[in-house]
A and B are shown apart, each in its own frame.
Chain A
Amino acid sequence: MLMEALLVALWAALCGIDKYDVALNIHRPLITGTVVGLIMGDLQTGLMAGAAMELAWLGLVPNAGAQPPDVCIGAIIGTVFVILTGENPEVGIGIAMPFAVAMQSLVVLLFTAFAPVMHKCDEYAKRCDTRGIDNMLYLGLGVRALIYAVVAFLPVYFGAETAAAIVALLPEEVLAGLSAAGRMMPAIGFAMLLKIMLKKEVAAYFFIGFVLVTYLKLPVLAIAILGTCIAVLDYMMRSERQQTVAQAQPASAHGDFSDGI
């Protein structure tokens, strides 16, 4: 079992990278189930289990930093379970779901824990140390791959039941609290942006954007188009005024105001 568990872990590490970067989409249950089936020596069952889980979880994709249950870890554990026990893929989905949810919490935790890395990057920026900034990215990729590998390895090696008992031990409030904190955290990034961008004469535009989402529920694209229109109008009006001022000056030298507006 060790060999299979190691190979599955290696595949999971690749999927961990692929889930957020590169997007070969090998982490989707359809492909991952098939590959895990191949590793476990039952390609056909893996293929069917992967396809079944894919159809069940089609909608679970990350949007704007919000994390749905992790379909990749779910597919790996579900497929292994189905192959080892000979149960239906539907049972596999039920077994895999707690892991997918637990993995989601772990990813939230990882994304929270990586916030301080940005301050390290700031220091590198000051010293023009681009290699340092590069390395911080590789660190992020490495840690993520490692977490996926470990989480995939344990259930395959120790059996899903033992692993489920471990998952049950995680303190629910702390995980829920951290994920709530994660959803609040972009406020810090926005505060830093506002510190630089917010000036009295343009501050109103921040609230215009805010109100358009909050009350009118407009999509961000609509607001960006509207914002572009306002920006273009502002630009046109001001450059026109600049031209009028520029034209008015030589004109006044001749004492001719006839074409002034």
Chain B
Amino acid sequence: MASNTAYVNDIAEGKALVDGVSDEILNQDYFEDQSKEEVITKKDLWNISIRGLFMEGNFNYERMQAGGWAYTLIPILKKIHKNKNDLAKSLKMHLELFNASPKLFTFIVGLVAAMEQNKEKPSTIRSLKVAAMGPTGGIGDAIDHMTLMPITLGIGASIALDGSVAGPFVFFFLYQMIHFPLYFWLTFYGYQSGVNALAQLKEKTVLLSRAATILGLTVVGALSASFIKISTPLVVEAGQATVHIQTDLLDKIMPNLLPLGFVFMMYYLVQKGKSPSGLIGLTMVIGIAGKYLGIL
């Protein structure tokens, strides 16, 4: 493939393709180049970990940390995928919704690096990454926000209140002594776990991808119920009785009915081919109109 040889040089020089890869190719669920060389070095793992420090750089409500997640992986993706269709496919998949603890997500970085290197199917990688992001959020909050942060801040602040400038420094060093070693170690640990697990699971990729989808979808269902927050303060006065629509009606049918309904409304519109930008605009209009009318 002449075009692909040219591409390899282009990528090395950091040039973009003039023509984009077609949607048809992007939607194929396999990597064309199945050579599984071990190209990832220790240096690469350090490199992506450092990039990962900026993973919330363009955080947004539509896909949360997706931009930073893709940014983190770019160096290894370029190294692994010497085929332009494969690289585009992989980049596109990694730009889908992602949200995990920025302190612990390096474990998923390492794991996904191993899977990409092993040229697993994009759908398998997606499912595993989606499944892993939920728990790191919960564990991250528990370790960081509920434990490490209050303890180190509490110690630092109490020293500071005694009038000593050591307070801020004590907080800084106590916190980072745990944060950074854990953060970087998790990349290597995730990568090694991925390499070992994949070696055992090889030749069963169809089953593996099914199992990953089961896990991924279960977690997506759970996250839909916890990340999307919609409720109505609407109260209906019917003679003597006042009915709080949210607590007296909707929650009686099913809690989280509105978030679920909204996800499937969006799903329906996406299936209909509506662009996500349009849906963002729609959501903003609904939000503002809802506040003015008092239904949100």
Residues of A within 8 A of B (CB): 20-26, 28, 30-31, 34, 43-44, 47-48, 50-52, 54-55, 58-59, 61, 63-66, 111-119, 121-134, 136-141, 144, 173-174, 176-199, 202-203, 205-215, 218-221, 223-228, 230-232, 234-235, 238-239, 242
Instruction: Report if A180-B60 is in contact (Cβ < 8 Å); known contacts: A28-B171, A208-B218, A235-B211.
Output: no
A188 to B261, CA, bound (A): 12
A129 to B270, CA, bound (A): 25
Question: In the complex, which of the residues A48, A64, A139, A193 contacts B160, with contact meaning CB atoms closer than 8 Å?
Answer: A48
Chain B residues within 8 Å of A23, by CB: 53, 102-103, 179
Are the C-beta atoms of A235 and B208 separated by less than 8 Å? yes
Question: In the complex, which of the residues B19, B218, B220, B291 contacts A194, with contact meaning CB atoms closer than 8 Å?
Answer: B220
Identify which of B35-43, B107-115, B132-140, B240-248 touches chain A: B132-140
Are the C-beta atoms of A194 and B267 separated by less than 8 Å? yes
* Leading 5 A-B pairs by shortest Cβ distance: A181-B287, A209-B221, A140-B58, A189-B97, A177-B288
Give min CB distance, A243 to chain B, whole Å.
Answer: 11
Give min CB distance, A69 to chain B, whole Å.
Answer: 15
Instruction: Report if A227-B228 is in contact (Cβ < 8 Å); known contacts: A114-B58, A118-B62, A177-B296.
Output: no
Chain A residues within 8 Å of B269, by CB: 191
Closest residue of chain B to A208 (Cβ to Cβ) is B218
Chain A residues within 8 Å of B26, by CB: 126
Closest residue of chain B to A60 (Cβ to Cβ) is B145
Q: A21-B54, A192-B63, A197-B220 are in contact. List 18 more A-B contacts (CB 8 A).
A: A21-B53, A51-B158, A115-B277, A128-B11, A138-B57, A141-B58, A173-B288, A178-B287, A183-B61, A183-B228, A185-B280, A186-B228, A197-B213, A209-B220, A210-B222, A221-B139, A223-B222, A238-B210
Chain B residues within 8 Å of A34, by CB: 160, 165, 167-168
**Does B196 belong to the interface (CB within 8 Å)?**
no
Q: 1/0 contact trace for B89-132 toward A, CB 8 Å?
A: 00110011101001100000000000000000001001100111
Are the C-beta atoms of B221 and A207 separated by less than 8 Å? yes
Chain B residues within 8 Å of A141, by CB: 54, 57-58
Are the C-beta atoms of B91 and A223 separated by less than 8 Å? no
Chain B residues within 8 Å of A122, by CB: 92, 95
Give min CB distance, B58 to chain A, whole Å.
Answer: 3
**Does B46 belong to the interface (CB within 8 Å)?**
no
Are the C-beta atoms of A111 and B157 separated by less than 8 Å? no
Give min CB distance, B250 to chain A, whole Å.
Answer: 12
Chain B residues within 8 Å of A193, by CB: 96-97, 126, 130, 220
Instruction: Report if A238-B207 is in contact (Cβ < 8 Å); known contacts: A20-B59, A180-B291.
Output: yes
**Does B141 belong to the interface (CB within 8 Å)?**
yes
**Does B149 belong to the interface (CB within 8 Å)?**
yes
Question: In the complex, which of the residues A121, A177, A220 contacts B290, with contact meaning CB atoms closer than 8 Å?
Answer: A177
